[in-house]
Amino acid sequence: MTALDPLAGRASAALLSTATRWLAWLELEQRASPHTLAAYRRDLGFFLGFLADYRGGPQDLADLAALETRDFRAWLSARAADGKAKASTARALAVVRNFFAWLRREEILENPRLALVRTPRLPQAVPKALATDEAQELLAAAGEDERAPWIVARDTAVLTLLYGAGLRIGEALGLTRGEAPGPGQDSLVVLGKGRKSRVVPLLPVVGAAIRAYLALCPYDVGSEGALFLGARGGPLSPRIVQQRMSDLRRALGLPESATPHALRHSFATHLLGSGGDLRSIQELLGHASLSTTQRYTAVDAARLIAAYRAAHPRAR
């Protein structure tokens, strides 16, 4: 059963079957993650549901082929009227484009009018990083807690890994016990977006934090089990890490932007500020496009301007 099933009766069985084939292609051929597949299912489902309401009945493949530019624009307008964020709408439009492109490659149908629809213009988001001293203070505070020592060590290890290696939270929590770094190990193989692996350098302090956690962890889950575990021995949930960051944020008076992902932003920003080059940082972060990594130059420029204004005699 898929997330498209609730639309049965609003889209034909043939259309739903075709959409399911597309999702299977995304999973098997494009190696889309479960999170990505869930988002694609949801976005395509909303699109098909809108068409059923807008055009007065269940839609079929022939209906998709006959869609006019104004129909696609009506869908985008409806999303705007519902208060959907531009970034969310841009992603939904990308999902629909992907579906129609697949339909064309499979020679199922073709609709060239979708190409005439413009993607909503998005403001350039600037990653929000912690200052160096804030990051250091946060990691120190993570180790000062009255909970079970192994849980304190676990949270410290996770946060140190996010900041010290620039991992996404899903990448860190996806590591297995067998992938835990041993003494003297100076790199780590990480499975990132699109199930693409990359090698990241491992600072001694990161490896030491992970080994300190493992020495205290009361559960033996074997080499294939999750590296980071919850209180009951199951894989650690991202929500637990997010909650721990929230607690530390309040305790230290840090901004709301101080999330687990902000530690990854901080890793990249601090590397760039210390002379790291964009290409190397791109590889370490696992970005497919250099333009994504280039956002950090804006962060570093803002930091330099703030320092200039605080220090220059004529700025006072």
The answer to whether the beta carbons of residues 264 and 285 sit under 8 Å apart is: yes
Residue type, 158: V
Active site residue 86: no
SS3 percent helix, strand, coil of the chain, rounded to 5, is 60, 5, 30
Query: Which residue is catalytic, options 41, 177, 264, 270?
Result: 264
Active site residue 287: yes
Query: Which residue is catalytic, options 193, 198, 211, 295?
Result: 193
Query: Which residue is catalytic, options 168, 177, 244, 270?
Result: 168
Cα 181 to Cα 206: distance, rounded to the nearest angstrom: 9
Sign of CA dihedral 258, 264, 270, 272: negative
Active site residue 296: yes
Residues 6+ apart with CB under 8 A from 18: 61, 103, 108
Token digits of residue 279:
């290409």
Query: Which residue is catalytic, options 40, 163, 213, 296?
Result: 296
The answer to whether the beta carbons of residues 99 and 44 sit under 8 Å apart is: yes
Catalytic residues: 168, 193, 261, 264, 287, 296
